[in-house]
Amino acid sequence: MADSAVPSGHAPAILSARGICIAFGPRTVLDDVSLDVAEGEIVALLGPSGSGKSTLLRIITGLLRADRGTVELDGRSIDDLPTHRRNIGLVFQDEQLFPHRTVAQNIEFGLRMQRRPRTDRTRRVAELLAVVGLPGFEDRRVTDLSGGEAKRIALARTLAPAPRIVLLDEPLTGLDRELHDQLTVELARLLRETHTTAVLVTHDRDEAAAIADRVVRMEGR
Amino acid sequence: MSARDRNGLSRWTIAALAAPAIAFIGLFYAWPVVALVHRAVTAEAFRTVVHDVSLRRILWFTAWQAAISTAATVVVGLVPAWLLARYEFVGRRFLTALITVPFVLPTVVVGAAFLALLPQSLDQSVVAILVAHVFFNVAVVVRGVGGLWSLLPPDLVGAARTLGASPWRAMREVTLPLLAPAIEASASVVFLFSFTSFGVVRILGGPSHPTLEVEIWERATRLGDVGVAAIVSIIQLVVLGLAVLWFARIQSRHRAAIGLRPLANRRRARGWAERGTVAALSIAVVVAVGTPLAALFERSVRTNAGHSLVAWRAVFGRRQLATGRPTAVSSLDPLGSLFTSLRFALIATVLSVIIGGCASLAIVAMSRTGGRSRLGRALDTGIMLPLGTSAVTIGFGVLVGFSVAPLDWRAAPLLIPLGHALVATPFVVRVLLPTLRSIDPHLRDAASALGASPLRAWREVDMRVMVAPLLTGAGFAAAISLGEFGATTFLTRQGRATLPIAIEQLLARPGAVLHAEGYVLATVLALLTFLVIGAFEGVRSLGDRSG
Amino acid sequence: MKRVIAAALAASLLTTACGSDKPSSASTNPTGTTGTSGSSGSTAVPDADAGTTLTIVAYDSFAVDPKTFESFTASTGIKVEVVTAGDAGAMLSKAALTAGNPEGDVMWGVDNTLLARALDSKVFQPYASPELSNLAPDATALVPGHEATPVDEGDVCINFDIAWFAAHQLDVPTTLDQLTDPKYKDLLVVENPATSSTGLAFLLATVAKFGQDGWQQYWKDLRANGVKVVDGWDQAYDEQFSGSSGKGPRPLVVSYGSSPPFEVIYADPKPAAAPTGVMGASCFHQVEFAGVLRGTDHPAAAGKLIDFLVSKEFQDTMPLTLYVYPVRDDASVPAEFTEYAVRPTGLPTVSPADIEAHAKDWINAWTDITVR
């Protein structure tokens, strides 16, 4: 069970998940879970694997439908809104970069979906590449990126269309210690600099502490 | 360039992998065709072809109906491919096997069942031909594309969706481009099949819609004009060779390594809308495929007066008929044909899996090294060509090519399974290539970096990913051999007939019981195909679970 | 390793292929058996042929039981194998391609529509059987040079569905002319002569009846009266004809004079009478021939086999195996044949030479009239 955590001393919640329940067959994964996130806040969901953290993110994005419960964004229920209309970004644990596209094409994907003009997109891609510390990577093939580079590009791709809130699913898992620590610092800085509201899923206590304003603990069932 | 490319396979290894395919195609395909052309083609035959206006018309019709058939088959096939690749549900394996059955049933048989279900207004129309081509070939798309689709991480679509892409847009921007190699591979096979279509065109198209294949057959066997037939056959070959080369070219352009892992990415449908969709689609597939098959069974129990199991008893029990006559024509042994078919299928499957498997590895290895990608394409095309060559040409070519010692094998029984392997090998290759091409070379590099020898790295990475498509390929090969009709009829043969030949012989005689016996065998053939594919699917899914 | 297995397998297959090939180079050791067949007569070369294996090349539907040859082997010491080489047209084209270096020793199944082509392409070498005088004279007359020997006879005729005409209270048509009567509109299904030998035979029947100048108008009238053309006999008889178990929509079909008996013989339960009948005036007579293939290593033995093929013993099996009539009068036919089959006599025909010379043009003209 998760702590029903409410932000304290902050503006009212922009994301609010209430009473979420989901079961896969006989296995109940989330049982009456609630979560509130305030504007500009970075929340870490901390818990062992199998505690349903990733599942909760998928329900918030609409990739998965909860059995019960409701998700609100800016005070309005988005339960019936399809994923692509929710304006919620998600950084996948294994990046899920589009292998048939270049780095630039990956990052501008969301911008193209918003029908932004080409010059606009090119500028924004360069801007984001600078933010994640990989300027000039536009024409690289994503299959040629190193593990750390791929993580940064995945983050840039999610940030590009400026979603209302960014969800990160174990974004730093699978990196070696040194790179992990370096990216942890960078990620924390980057989310703050861009004033991003974010929910970070991790099983790493130190990582959670380093990045998040507030840590919510989820217990495995 | 060094002797080792980045695959870690040496030049010699690649050559050795390609050798069986080259030898097999060269001896049993290229040589007979060359021998036939040399023997039969004369200057006069050339003049006939050049001056024959009707040939141009037939070529044009053949090409456009094949193009439309292919497009329609791909579009229709993607829906069940998606269903079977993405969802886990009760009866999924049943559906997979069922959808493959029409592909291998002799057209004589399903054509008849199909005809009975077709509205009269469509009889002998182009629409009938197109619908039948979709029906017969949809399995190629479902299996070919489905194989790759089930390996695509579903989260790629998830990523596109969270970036603001509608389901349709995500399909267009992410899924389809990533499936492109498999779609193109399947399309090229469907195109070949639709272009060289014979039975469907004769039964459903009627006399006013001949294809080149029908024309070749007619010239060679009706009019005795083997020379003209050989030239037309070469024209067909050139057209299809160019088409296949083009397909191979665009396929080799997609070399994006997706980082496939042999994972089962299927999930159960959630929520009533999704469950309803899965159920509705499954039912639609069962109805579409099952209705003609049910019609087949109905004909097997139909007698001169109502329905009875007399034909089933005649085939399996061999008792006398009510008229005191034997149950079948004396030299036709319906049950024996079943065992003949099974034996041939075994030989053809083993051969085509070995030859096709080795050749696929060679093709991918060659395409990864810039300089040799041309060679790889040539090998790929060479393997495909038998599919685009008329059965008459192969049959007559074997006769001419193998008529002189030391190659006087004209009536050797093994020529039949060899012929089947010739037709089945391209399928094994087509199923394997998209998956092999999509393997991330990094995986191999990683394996090498961890201390694996090149051969070991190759075995660890490629072999594991190859098992699933190889099993699909083997199932296909077995099914193709069971159902092969064209080449078999044109090879001179000795002893027992295969199932499709026996079916055709039984249907070619008057007498209600004989017809019913033909449909008994057809039902048995459908069942057998279903079981073979089901068995390979079963083995394959065991692999999934342990992997 | 896979590769090694592949190579080994390929090698073993090749050996098997070579091993299973039975070249007609005979074992020529004389065994001392004497050719005792009563039919071998003057051509008998005793001793030398014993132990020989002869190959009959036949069309696919040559459904003769291998046991039928046992008595021949017993009396001559010659073994017989049958290979099938496609339908009659495909078989002849193959024989023409390998004329002089044949696939077998004897070929079975060239009919009078293909005879002239077979003779032109010199696939046979002449052999005059001592049995010739016992065979139907109109059939032997077609091969004065004895290149081939007639082995069976039959007729392609329109069959009708007796019950259908009874139910519709319509008279069964008895002449070809009646078929253009609007009364019989949309009732007939025929095969395409370009793709079906049955269809070609029926086209020849109309050419014989209406002459070189008249047949085209007849087919225009048939088309106007709703004749349906399908590609082969299977589709016509099994799918379109109402009198077969296929229960199609049309009660008139081009089939064989001997089809009705088989609706009785291969029926279960046994019907009281044949459900179909034959329209005698619509028939075209077919004669099938067998011959010694030019280039055989065993011409004498092959001659003996021809003698056996036209012997009473072998001819007796013709009706039930190949659905045709024996070519000799003293051979027996089953009761169902005498009762339900029709053998018209005195109908006009077209000579093999005319067929070979004109069939291509007639088929083209027919195609223009009927399906374009």
Minimum Cα–Cα distance from B492: chain C residue: C85
Please report whether residue B214 resides in a domain. Answer: yes
Residue B65 has a pLDDT of 95
Q: CA of C351, closest CA in chain B: separation in Å?
A: 17
Q: A156-177 pLDDT, tens per residue?
A: 999 999 999 999 999 888 788 8
Picking from C2, C89, C244, the nearest residue to B357 by CB comes out as C2
- Spell out the domain ranges in chain A: 40-57+86-217
Asked if the Cβ–Cβ distance from C268 to B108 is below 8 Å, we say no
Do residues B311 and B520 touch, judged by C-beta distance below 8 A? yes
Residue B452 has a pLDDT of 66
Report the 10 Å Cβ neighbour count for C229. Answer: 26
**Burial class of residue C327, CB neighbours in 10 A (0-12, 13-18, 19+):** buried
Picking from C97, C192, C237, the nearest residue to B207 by CB comes out as C192
Do residues B353 and C9 touch, judged by C-beta distance below 8 A? no
Do residues B215 and B55 touch, judged by C-beta distance below 8 A? yes
- A51-55, B422-426, C11-15: which range is least confident on average? C11-15
**pTM (2 decimals)?**
0.85
**Burial class of residue A127, CB neighbours in 10 A (0-12, 13-18, 19+):** middle
- Express as a percent the part of chain C with pLDDT over 90: 74
Residues recorded for chain B: 547
> What does the angle CA B492 – CA B495 – CA B497 come to, to the nearest 5 degrees?
80
C157-191 as b/e, with b when 16 or more CB fall inside 10 Å? bbbbbbebbeeeeeebbeebeebbeeebeebbbbb
Q: C229-241 pLDDT, tens per residue?
A: 998 898 899 989 9
Please report whether residue B4 resides in a domain. Answer: no
**Secondary structure element (H or E) that encloses residue A214, with its range:** strand A214-217
Kindly tell me if the per-residue pLDDT of A27 is higher than 50: yes
Query: Do C and A touch (≥3 CB pairs < 8 Å)?
Result: no
Cis amide bond preceding C130, omega within 30: no
In the Cβ-directed half-sphere of B426, how many Cα atoms lie within 13 Å? 28
C201-211 as b/e, with b when 16 or more CB fall inside 10 Å? bbbbbbbbbbe
Which residue in B514, B528, B517, B518 sits closest to B483, CA to CA? B528
The per-residue pLDDT of chain C, averaged, comes to: 87
Mutation target vs B (from A73, A143, A155, A176; most B CBs, 10 A cutoff): A143
Written as one letter, the residue type at B524 is V
Residues whose CB is less than 8 angstroms from the CB of residue C208 and which lie 6 or more positions away in sequence, other chains included: C284, C347, C348, C349, C350
Please report whether residue B432 resides in a domain. Answer: yes
Residue B381 has a pLDDT of 86
Per the structure, the complete domain to which residue B330 belongs is given by 11-546
Do residues C76 and C37 touch, judged by C-beta distance below 8 A? yes
Residue A38 has a pLDDT of 93
Please report whether residue B1 resides in a domain. Answer: no
Asked if the Cβ–Cβ distance from B158 to A96 is below 8 Å, we say yes
Between CA B9 and CA B322 the distance in angstroms is 68
Residues whose CB is less than 8 angstroms from the CB of residue B235 and which lie 6 or more positions away in sequence, other chains included: B49, B59, B212
Residue B394 has a pLDDT of 87
Written as one letter, the residue type at C238 is D
Asked if the Cβ–Cβ distance from B304 to C229 is below 8 Å, we say no
Beta bridge partners of C311: none
**Secondary structure element (H or E) that encloses residue B538, with its range:** helix B512-546
Q: C55-66 pLDDT, tens per residue?
A: 999 998 898 888
Mutation target vs B (from A63, A111, A167; most B CBs, 10 A cutoff): A63
Q: Of all residues in chain C, what percent are helix, strand and coil, respectively (each to 5)?
A: 40, 20, 40
Q: What is the mean pLDDT of residues C163-180?
A: 96
Between CA B142 and CA B83 the distance in angstroms is 9
Picking from B217, B303, B330, the nearest residue to C63 by CB comes out as B330
Hey, is A22 helix, strand or coil?
A: strand
Between CA B264 and CA C238 the distance in angstroms is 47
Kindly tell me if the per-residue pLDDT of C26 is higher than 60: no
Do residues B418 and B412 touch, judged by C-beta distance below 8 A? no
Q: CA of C246, closest CA in chain B: separation in Å?
A: 8
Picking from C96, C234, C372, the nearest residue to B108 by CB comes out as C234
Asked if the Cβ–Cβ distance from C18 to B39 is below 8 Å, we say no
- Spell out the domain ranges in chain C: 32-153+287-326, 155-285+334-370
Residue B369 has a pLDDT of 65
Which structure tokens are listed for C139? 């059939």
φ, ψ dihedrals at B233, nearest 5°: -65, -35
Which residue in B335, B294, B115 sits closest to C246, CA to CA? B115
C210 confidence band (pLDDT: 50, 70, 90) = very high
C307 confidence band (pLDDT: 50, 70, 90) = very high
Kindly tell me if the per-residue pLDDT of C20 is higher than 50: no
Q: C124-157 pLDDT, tens per residue?
A: 999 999 999 999 999 999 999 999 999 999 999 9
Residues whose CB is less than 8 angstroms from the CB of residue A78 and which lie 6 or more positions away in sequence, other chains included: A62, A71, A72, A86
Residue B252 has a pLDDT of 64
- A14-28, B162-176, C165-179: which range is least confident on average? A14-28
Hey, is A101 helix, strand or coil?
A: coil
Cα dihedral C243, C249, C254, C259 in deg (nearest 10): -10
Q: A82-135 pLDDT, tens per residue?
A: 999 999 999 998 889 998 899 999 999 999 999 999 999 999 999 999 988 899
Picking from C17, C239, C255, the nearest residue to B409 by CB comes out as C17
Between CA C187 and CA C250 the distance in angstroms is 5
Picking from B202, B331, B395, the nearest residue to C195 by CB comes out as B202
Sign of CA dihedral B291, B293, B295, B297: negative
Which residue in B314, B521, B317, B332 sits closest to C267, CA to CA? B314
**Contacts B158 to A, Cβ<8 Å:** 58, 61, 63, 83, 90, 92, 96
Identify the residue whose tokens are 């007698």.
Answer: B303
Between CA B188 and CA A109 the distance in angstroms is 31
Between CA B268 and CA C363 the distance in angstroms is 60
Q: What 3 state SS string does B455-478 have?
A: HHHHHHHHHHHHHHHHHHHHHHHH
Taking the Cβ of residue C101 and every Cβ of chain B, the question of whether any pair is shorter than 8 Å is answered with yes
Between CA B76 and CA B151 the distance in angstroms is 21
- pLDDT in tens for each of the 547 residues of chain B? 343 444 456 778 888 889 999 999 999 999 999 999 998 888 989 998 888 888 999 999 999 999 999 999 999 999 999 999 889 898 888 898 888 888 877 776 777 777 777 777 777 888 989 999 999 899 989 988 887 888 888 899 999 999 999 999 999 999 999 998 889 888 988 999 899 988 888 888 878 888 999 999 999 998 888 999 999 999 999 999 888 888 877 766 655 555 555 555 688 888 788 899 999 999 999 999 889 889 889 989 988 888 888 888 888 876 677 777 777 665 677 888 899 999 999 999 999 999 999 999 888 888 776 566 778 888 888 898 888 888 888 888 888 888 876 777 777 788 899 999 998 998 888 888 877 777 766 556 666 666 667 667 666 666 777 787 888 889 889 988 988 888 888 887 876 788 888 888 888 888 888 889 989 999 998 888 888 888 887 777 665 544 3
φ, ψ dihedrals at A98, nearest 5°: -75, 110
The greatest distance separating any two alpha carbons of chain B, rounded to the nearest whole angstrom, comes to 78
Which residue in C131, C135, C148, C154 sits closest to C328, CA to CA? C135
Residues whose CB is less than 8 angstroms from the CB of residue B130 and which lie 6 or more positions away in sequence, other chains included: B65, B68, B69, B72
Report the 10 Å Cβ neighbour count for B324. Answer: 8
CATH architecture under which domain A40-57+86-217 falls: 3-Layer(aba) Sandwich (3.40)
Query: Do B and C touch (≥3 CB pairs < 8 Å)?
Result: yes
**Contacts B408 to C, Cβ<8 Å:** 21, 23
Kindly tell me if the per-residue pLDDT of A25 is higher than 90: no
**Secondary structure element (H or E) that encloses residue B544, with its range:** helix B512-546
ipTM for the whole complex:
0.92
Which residue in B476, B469, B522, B467 sits closest to B345, CA to CA? B476
A3 confidence band (pLDDT: 50, 70, 90) = very low
Q: CA of B444, closest CA in chain A: separation in Å?
A: 14
Beta bridge partners of A42: A198
Domain of B233, CATH number, reads 1.10.3720.10
**Secondary structure element (H or E) that encloses residue C302, with its range:** helix C299-309
Cα distances from B394 to residues B399, B419, C185, C218, C290, in angstroms, run: 9, 9, 43, 40, 26
Cα distances from C30 to residues B440, C24, C48, in angstroms, run: 70, 16, 5
Asked if the Cβ–Cβ distance from B164 to A82 is below 8 Å, we say no
Higher pLDDT among residues A208 and C26, named by residue: A208
**Contacts B174 to A, Cβ<8 Å:** 98
Give CB contacts under 8 A, 24+ apart, made by B279-287: B281/B79, B281/B80, B281/B83, B282/B83, B282/B89, B282/B91, B282/B95, B285/B80, B285/B83, B285/B95, B285/B98, B285/B99, B286/B95, B286/B98
Kindly tell me if the per-residue pLDDT of A45 is higher than 90: yes
Which residue in C309, C277, C273 sits closest to C291, CA to CA? C309
Q: CA of C250, closest CA in chain B: separation in Å?
A: 13
Between CA C139 and CA C144 the distance in angstroms is 10
Query: Would you say domain C155-285+334-370 falls under CATH 3.50.50.60?
Result: no
**Contacts B165 to A, Cβ<8 Å:** 84, 109, 113
Residues whose CB is less than 8 angstroms from the CB of residue C101 and which lie 6 or more positions away in sequence, other chains included: B403, B404, C295
Q: Do domains C32-153+287-326 and C155-285+334-370 have the same CATH topology?
A: yes
Which residue in C367, C365, C370 sits closest to C213, CA to CA? C365
Residues whose CB is less than 8 angstroms from the CB of residue C166 and which lie 6 or more positions away in sequence, other chains included: none
Name residues 22-61 of chain C within 8 A of B (Cβ).
Answer: 23, 55, 57, 60-61
Do residues C280 and C186 touch, judged by C-beta distance below 8 A? no
C32-153+287-326 — its CATH code?
Answer: 3.40.190.10
